[in-house]
A and B are shown apart, each in its own frame.
Chain A
Amino acid sequence: MSRRLSIGVFTVLALAVAVGMAVAISPFASGSPDGLEKVAEKKAFLDDGKLHSVQNDSPVPDYAFPGVDNEKVATGMAGFVGTLGVFAVGYGIAFVLGRRRRARGDDRGPTAATA
C-alpha cells in the first residue's frame, strides 16, 4: 500500500495529462470529417444539420477560443478552458452529492458505486 499514489496525486497527474492533451495535442488533431459527419456528407444529409438558436452565442464555438487569430493557439486555449471547466462541473456535482451524503452521516465506508 505504501507505494500507492494518493488520490490527490493521482487526480493532479490525471488532470495534467488531460490538460496536456487538450492544449498541446488537440491543435494537431486530424481535421478530417469524423465518422458521422463523413457518412452524412456521403449520404447527402449533412445539410440538414444546423445550430440551435442558443448555440449561435456559444462562448467557444467549434473549439476555437474567440478573438485569437492563430488557429492552433485558439484550439489549445479552448481545450484548456474546456478541460478545466468540465473537471469543475464533474467535481462540483460529486462534491455536492458527497456532502449531502456526509451530512446524513451515511458513511458506509468505500463502496464501488456499482450497479
Chain B
Amino acid sequence: MFSIALHIPDGFLSGAVAALAAIPAIAAVAFGLKVADRDLDEARVPLLGVLAAFIFAAQMLNFPIAGGTSGHFLGATLAAVLLGPWLACLVMAVVITTQAFVFADGGISALGANVLNMGVLGAVLAGFLVAAGSRALPKTRAAYLGTVGVVAWLAVMVGAAATSFELALSDTVPLGTVLGAMLGTHALIGIGESIITVAAVSAVLAARPDLIAIGGHFDQAPGPATARTAQEA
C-alpha cells in the first residue's frame, strides 16, 4: 500500500500540517514553472521529461537495507544537478503527483508535504548546496563528485527529518520516538542514494558535460585523465 520511502500516505498528517506544508510546496512549484517559462532552453526540454522518467523508474527499485527494510533512490540531487534547483523541484512534483494519482502511492492530502520533503527540501536545497560546494571547493572532478555524493545523502536525511517533524506536529507519533528511527533508517538509504547519484552524474559528465546545470566545470590542466576526456568529449 505505501511502497515508497518518504512518501507519506493520507492519514499520517493532520489537516493543518498538510495544509501548512502545501504552501511552500505550491510556491516552489509555481516558481519552478516561472523559471521554466523564463529560462528553459531547447536542450533541456527533453531532459526534463527524461529525468522525470528516470526518477520514476528508479524509485520502483527498492533495495534491501538492514533489518528487513528496503530503500530506494530519491533522485532530488540528481535532478538538481542537471536542471538547477527550481526545475528539479518541478520534476519531483511531476513524479510525486503521478505516483499519488495513478499508482495510489503517497497521499493526496499529503501531496504538499511530500513535494515539500522531496522537492523543496530535497531538490531545491540540494541544488543550492551543490552550487555552494562547487564554489568553495577545488574545481576538480573528485571534489565535485564528492560534493554531489554528500549532498545526495544529506537531501535524504533532511527529507526524513522533515517527515518526522510533520508526523510529530500532527500528533501521529512523538518526535523523540520517530526522529531517531527515521534518521537511522535513512542514513543507510542515503548511502544508496549517494552511490546512484554519483554514478549517474559521472555518466552525464562523460556523455554530455554541458547538460550539468550546477557546477561541473573543472580546471583543465592537471586534473585526472578521465576529467580531461569528459571535458573534451
Contact = CB atoms under 8 A, between A and B. Distances in A.
Main secondary structure of the interface of A (DSSP, over half): helix
Contact of B108 (A13, A35, A55, A84): A55
A92 B127 CA distance: 23
Given A14-B50, A113-B40, A29 B62 contact: yes
B128 A18 contact: no
Contacts of B210: 4
A88 interface: yes
Contacts, number: 271
Contact of A26 (B45, B57, B101, B109): B57
Max count, chain A CB within 10 A of own CB: residue among B85, B104, B186, B233: B104
Interface residues of B, number: 90
A115 B49 CA distance: 20
Contact of B214 (A35, A37, A63, A114): A114
A31 B186 CA distance: 17
Given A5-B207, A79-B60, A113 B98 contact: no
Contacts of B40: 94, 97-98, 101, 113
A92 B104 CA distance: 22
Nearest to B87: A113
Contact of B49 (A26, A78, A91): A91
B205 to A, nearest CB: 12
A60 B86 CA distance: 29
Contacts of A93: 33, 36, 48, 90, 94
A39 interface: yes
Contact of B213 (A18, A97, A106, A112): A112
A112 B173 CA distance: 42
24 contacts: A5-B208, A11-B46, A14-B53, A18-B56, A26-B60, A35-B6, A35-B185, A39-B185, A45-B167, A48-B172, A49-B9, A51-B1, A51-B10, A58-B104, A83-B53, A83-B56, A86-B52, A90-B49, A90-B91, A97-B40, A113-B39, A114-B127, A114-B214, A115-B128
Interface of A: 3-5, 7-8, 10-11, 13-15, 17-19, 21-22, 25-26, 29-40, 42-43, 45, 48-52, 54-55, 58-63, 75, 78-79, 82-95, 97-98, 100-101, 106, 109-115
Given A10-B208, A18-B54, A29-B60, 8 more contacts: A15-B53, A29-B70, A43-B177, A52-B108, A52-B109, A91-B46, A113-B44, A114-B85
